[in-house]
Amino acid sequence: MTETTEQAKEGLWGREGFREDPYVTAESLEDAGDAAAVILPLAAWLALPEDVRFDTNRKIGVSIAPGEKIDPLLPSLDRIPLIALQFPAFNDGRSYSKAELLKSQHNFKGELRAVGDVLIDQVAYMLRTGFDTLKVAHAVTLSRLAAHNLHDAPVYYQPGRGSHTVPGAYSWRRIPGA
């Protein structure tokens, strides 16, 4: 599982720009101390008693590794404030499909976060598959995001979030813009 890295070198980014991260990433609730918002690995989250897991006094999010399934989360999606999908390597694309499933098919309303090796060329794809925020460690990505250079395409050949249809265009085509 990802160790809590130095916050200074990372940034939390969403469509509106960089923002403060209220969450602490920890291996267990004990490790998190009295933090008000915590992200736990899936196994640690599953091991919590229900009343703690869905405690309304603190936010507990779940971190999912590429090899882990999202199925255990599905019955309680409306009570999970945040799901972090990991990208330990830029070329592992499983989390894109999970994002699409969570947002489109299972209607997850909480924060969907991408965590890990986020390259600038992937940011637009992440937003389009449903990620709300990106926890970015990559220096080039950080500077490009700061300059608001998303490397996005001017038009899309697929439906997806953050895009809209064009009257008269083929049904699968979209243009950017929420």
**Closest listed residue to residue 161, CA positions, set 152, 169, 170:** 152
Figure out which of the listed residues 77, 94, 117, 150 binds other proteins, where binding follows CB under 8 A. 94
Figure out which of the listed residues 3, 49, 56, 157 binds other proteins, where binding follows CB under 8 A. 157
Given a contact cutoff of 8 angstroms between Cβ atoms, the answer to whether 40 and 53 are in contact is no
Of 58 and 173, the one with the shorter C-beta distance to other proteins is 173
**Closest listed residue to residue 36, CA positions, set 51, 55, 58:** 58
Determine if 15 is a binding residue for other proteins (CB under 8 A). Answer: no
Determine if 100 is a binding residue for other proteins (CB under 8 A). Answer: yes
What is the DSSP track for 71-108? GGGGGGGGG-SEEEEEESSTT--HHHHHHHIIIIIS--
Q: How far is the CB of 23 from other proteins (least distance, A)?
A: 25
Of 17 and 88, the one with the shorter C-beta distance to other proteins is 88
**Closest listed residue to residue 129, CA positions, set 152, 97, 157:** 97
Determine if 7 is a binding residue for other proteins (CB under 8 A). Answer: no
How far apart (Å, rounded) are the C-alpha atoms in residues 108 and 82? 9
Of 56 and 105, the one with the shorter C-beta distance to other proteins is 105
Q: Which residues have CB under 8 Å from 109's CB, separation 6+?
A: 77, 78
71-90 mask for other proteins (x: CB under 8 A)?
Answer: -------------------x
How far apart (Å, rounded) are the C-alpha atoms in residues 25 and 2? 8
Of 23 and 108, the one with the shorter C-beta distance to other proteins is 108
Figure out which of the listed residues 72, 110, 160, 176 binds other proteins, where binding follows CB under 8 A. 160
Binding site for other proteins (CB under 8 A): 66, 90-94, 96-98, 100-101, 104-105, 119, 121-122, 124-126, 128-129, 151, 153-160, 169-173
